Amino acid sequence: MPGTGGDRRVSGSRSVLAAGLVMTGEHVPAAGSALLHVVIPSYNGGGAILRCIASVLRATYRPLRLIVVDNASSDGTVREIARRFPASCLVRNPRNLGFSGACNAGIDAARRDGADLILILNQDTVIHPELPAILAGLFRRRPRAGAAGPKTYFGRPAAGAERRLLYGGAWRGRLPLRQCLPGIGKPDVGGRAGAARVDYVWGHGMMLRAEALVRVGGFDPGFFMYFEDLDLCRRMAATGYEVWYVPAAVMWHDITDGARAIHSERWRWVEKMRSMRHFHRKHYGPAAARALNALTALAEIERLVWRGHLRAARHLLAAYVVTFPGACHAAEAARQ
């Protein structure tokens, strides 16, 4: 996995370990339990990442260690995390390395500390206290499992609130990046009860076997954001590892994605198109990628127009044009 050169600082820790990581509680590890590290990439996370960390610290699973990787936040996130959660490991990147780069920095730190399992969480998520234990149990029972993901609801946990499904398993559609997502956006009515093999789990909440990452590699830094999780799952499967969806494990994602119809932001569509092009070129070669890029973008534009999201459709079309090979400098300018 790529190195990051991040500045690793820990303050006020209860028990500092050799690699600079700390236990997130006073619990004594159970004999034979897999050592789990939770990695949370952070960028101007504000109150969202504080809620995420608090939910992790309520988890029942032990031994568990927490790593927050900050991508050069400017909103005081790092200072507030250090103040509120002194027994956490902070990895400070000198610049924004994107989601993949931040994950890899955390994975590197976790592996140096002897991690058996690594749970990646988006900063705007909240997990159920039993989630780590349930997912770790899947890895214990399935020695070929390389990645696993939980059932995920939109929003935040609230008593009596309707639970709308964000992720309930993902399978490849007719186009490589067009996924089959049963029940997405609808109230959860139960559905599948047991764990199931899937093609993809999403990076907002995915547990990974550290041993598999040694063979497969970490996240591809060519994906600044978007589709890095799908790429990793494909490489896991190609190396002989299994990818699982575990509905008994539950989390919430308070998502406000600017590459979606309602909260459309042009720069996010640019990143999505850049990652789409990278994914198709990497897995299918340059010639096939050109056709797949056009078909995938056209299918998404058609879907947005049909639903009346004309602003998002215009943003997507502009992003598709600006990310043509030879126009990458414009895409880079849009990122700034």
Q: What is the pLDDT of residues 174-206, one digit of tens each?
A: 999 999 999 999 999 877 779 999 999 999 999
Question: Does residue 209 carry a pLDDT above 80?
Answer: yes
Mean pLDDT of 1-23: 32
Do residues 283 and 295 make contact, with C-beta atoms less than 8 angstroms apart? no
Dihedral angle, C-alpha 91, 18, 214, 178, nearest 10 °: -30
Question: Does residue 219 carry a pLDDT above 70?
Answer: yes
Domains of the chain (ranges, CATH numbers): 7-253 (3.90.550.10), 266-335 (no CATH)
Mean pLDDT of 118-136: 97
Mean pLDDT of 138-155: 97
Q: In three state form, how does the secondary structure of the chain look?
A: CCCCCCEEECCCCCCECCCCCEECCCCCCCCCCCCEEEEEEECCCHHHHHHHHHHHHCCCCCCEEEEEEECCCCCCHHHHHHHHCCCCEEEECCCCCHHHHHHHHHHHHHHHCCCCEEEEECCCEEECCCHHHHHHHHHHHCCCEEEEEEEEEECCCCCCCCCEEEECCEEECCCCCCEECCCCCCECCCCCCCCEECCECCCCEEEEEHHHHHHHCCCCCCCCCCCHHHHHHHHHHHCCCEEEEEEEEEEEECCCCCCCCCCCCHHHHHHHHHHHHHHHHHHHHHHHHHHHHHHHHHHHHHHHHHCCCHHHHHHHHHHHHHCCCCCHHHHHHHHC
10 Å CB burial of residue 122 (0-12, 13-18, 19+) is buried
Summarize pLDDT for 316-335 with one digit per residue, the tens.
999 999 998 865 544 455 55
Question: Does residue 82 carry a pLDDT above 50?
Answer: yes
Q: What is the pLDDT of residue 18?
A: 25
Q: What is the pLDDT of residue 9?
A: 33
Nearest to 97 by CA among 112, 82, 108, 113: 108
Q: What is the pLDDT of residue 159?
A: 76
Q: What is the pLDDT of residue 29?
A: 39
Question: Does residue 54 carry a pLDDT above 80?
Answer: yes
Q: pTM score, two decimals?
A: 0.86
Question: Does residue 155 carry a pLDDT above 80?
Answer: yes
Q: What is the pLDDT of residue 264?
A: 62
Q: What is the pLDDT of residue 4?
A: 34
Summarize pLDDT for 25-39 with one digit per residue, the tens.
333 334 448 999 999
Q: In percent, how much of the chain has pLDDT > 70?
A: 85
Give the rounded distance of the alpha carbon of 159 from its chain centre: 26
Residues 6+ apart with CB under 8 A from 147: 201, 206, 207, 208, 209, 212, 232, 233, 236, 241, 243, 244
| Mean of the per-residue pLDDT values of the chain | 86
Q: What is the pLDDT of residue 162?
A: 84
Q: What is the pLDDT of residue 107?
A: 98
Q: What is the pLDDT of residue 326?
A: 65
The pLDDT confidence band at residue 208, using thresholds 50, 70 and 90, is very high
Q: What is the pLDDT of residue 265?
A: 82
Do residues 312 and 304 make contact, with C-beta atoms less than 8 angstroms apart? yes
Question: Does residue 210 carry a pLDDT above 70?
Answer: yes
Q: What is the pLDDT of residue 324?
A: 87
Question: Does residue 6 carry a pLDDT above 60?
Answer: no
Out of 40-49, 154-163, 253-262, 295-304, which region has the weakest mean confidence (pLDDT)?
253-262
Quote the CA–CA distance of 280 and 145 in Å, as a whole number: 25
Q: What is the pLDDT of residue 226?
A: 95
